[in-house]
């Protein structure tokens, strides 16, 4: 069975992984997930991108929202508000169980990767869901309102502040989590999901062992562009690129992943300058499950060109 490793952030990446999971021809999937969005909130360790993967692959995700669970209730948040607790980051009642249990197990010394693997097994998820590292790496953004931790920027400030610099605190001393290097070196294909390259993929690439494994890997590496119709489907990608002085086009995406990727899958309508890498085309907007399967198959087809 073909072994596919996917570097992924949250929403966009989860769609691609779900597509891989629903292909007629099954593949062995290892999702290597960004953990630099993680943060401590109300004494809890929250791992948003891991949670989006777990919810999506177990069919529990709130598809429209892209995070959290379908059919969620909000009694906890309402009670928190009554008591004057911070309610800018919405924690649903069922979602809370995952954060509380993860935090308790981290507190007793368990590794994030162990806990994540256990949750995935409890929810009969067949793909491997691997945090990029068990060490702490945190995305911080220098903005026109000062330095912001990722969730403060993304949720509390709704991506409004102008970003001048992005840093991944702790990255250079972070070690790849167990199974990550093996998944990359053992992969027939490595896919970079259509997550935000600058906020969700870069934190994975800067973990020393992971960059090294990608360079050593014999696998074809294919990125799926996060741009559809010349703009980002969701989230701040296009706005961020503008603020960082990067042209919002696929040439910039290809340049960002230069020397790492063998091919780039772009949306049918979007221009890209032919260069050294192979270019694949499909309708990359993923709304239905068929869309997700189509993009997954197109990415694997590009890898085998």
Judging by DSSP bridges, how do beta strands 220-224 and 189-192 pair with one another? parallel
- Residue ranges in contact with ligand FO1 by CB under 6 A: 9-11, 37, 46, 48-49, 51, 66-68, 89-91, 95, 151, 154-155
Judging by DSSP bridges, how do beta strands 128-131 and 44-46 pair with one another? unpaired
Minimum distance from CB of 158 to ligand FO1 (Å)? 8
Closer residue to ligand FO1, CB minimum distance, 67 or 280: 67
Cα 74 → chain centroid: 26
Closer residue to ligand FO1, CB minimum distance, 160 or 216: 160
Which residues, other chains included, contact 243 with Cβ-Cβ below 8 Å and sequence gap of 6+?
Answer: 162, 163, 164
Closer residue to ligand FO1, CB minimum distance, 95 or 262: 95
- Sign, CA dihedral 17-93-137-11, equals positive
Minimum distance from CB of 130 to ligand FO1 (Å)? 17
Rg of the chain on CA atoms, in Å: 18
Minimum distance from CB of 154 to ligand FO1 (Å)? 5
CA geometry: angle at 258 spanning 254 and 260, to 5°? 115
Closer residue to ligand FO1, CB minimum distance, 139 or 284: 139
Closer residue to ligand FO1, CB minimum distance, 92 or 263: 92
Minimum distance from CB of 99 to ligand FO1 (Å)? 7
Minimum distance from CB of 101 to ligand FO1 (Å)? 14
Query: What dihedral do alpha carbons 295, 68, 44, 8 form, nearest 10°?
Result: 0
Structure tokens at 162: 């102008």
């Amino acid at each position: 069975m073909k072994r596919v490793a996917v570097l992924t952030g949250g929403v966009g990446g989860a769609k691609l992984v779900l597509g891989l999971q629903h292909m007629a021809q099954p593949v062995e999937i290892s999702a290597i997930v960004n953990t630099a969005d993680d943060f401590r909130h109300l004494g809890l360790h929250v791992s948003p991108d891991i949670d989006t993967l777990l919810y999506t692959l177990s069919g529990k995700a709130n598809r429209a929202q892209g995070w959290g669970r379908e059919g969620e209730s909000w009694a906890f948040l309402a009670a928190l508000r009554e008591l004057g607790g911070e309610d800018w980051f919405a924690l649903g009642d069922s979602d809370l169980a995952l954060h509380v249990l993860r935090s308790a197990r981290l507190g007793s010394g368990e590794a994030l990767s162990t806990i994540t693997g256990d949750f995935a097994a409890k929810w009969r998820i067949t793909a491997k869901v691997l945090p990029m590292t068990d060490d702490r790496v945190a995305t911080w953004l220098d903005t026109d309102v000062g330095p912001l931790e990722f969730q403060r920027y993304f949720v509390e400030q709704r991506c409004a502040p102008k970003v001048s610099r992005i840093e991944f605190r702790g990255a250079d001393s972070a070690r790849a989590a167990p199974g990550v290097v093996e998944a990359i070196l053992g992969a027939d294909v490595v896919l970079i999901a259509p997550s935000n390259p600058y906020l969700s993929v870069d934190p994975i690439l800067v973990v020393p062992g992971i960059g090294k494994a990608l360079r050593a890997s014999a696998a074809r590496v294919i990125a799926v562009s996060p741009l559809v119709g010349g703009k980002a489907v969701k989230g701040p990608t296009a706005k961020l690129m503008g603020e960082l002085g990067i042209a919002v086009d696929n040439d910039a995406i290809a340049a960002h992943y230069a020397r790492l990727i063998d091919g780039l899958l772009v949306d049918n309508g979007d221009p890209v300058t032919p260069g050294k890498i192979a270019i694949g085309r499909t309708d990359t907007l993923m709304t239905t499950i068929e869309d997700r399967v189509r993009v997954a198959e197109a990415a694997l087809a590009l890898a085998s060109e």
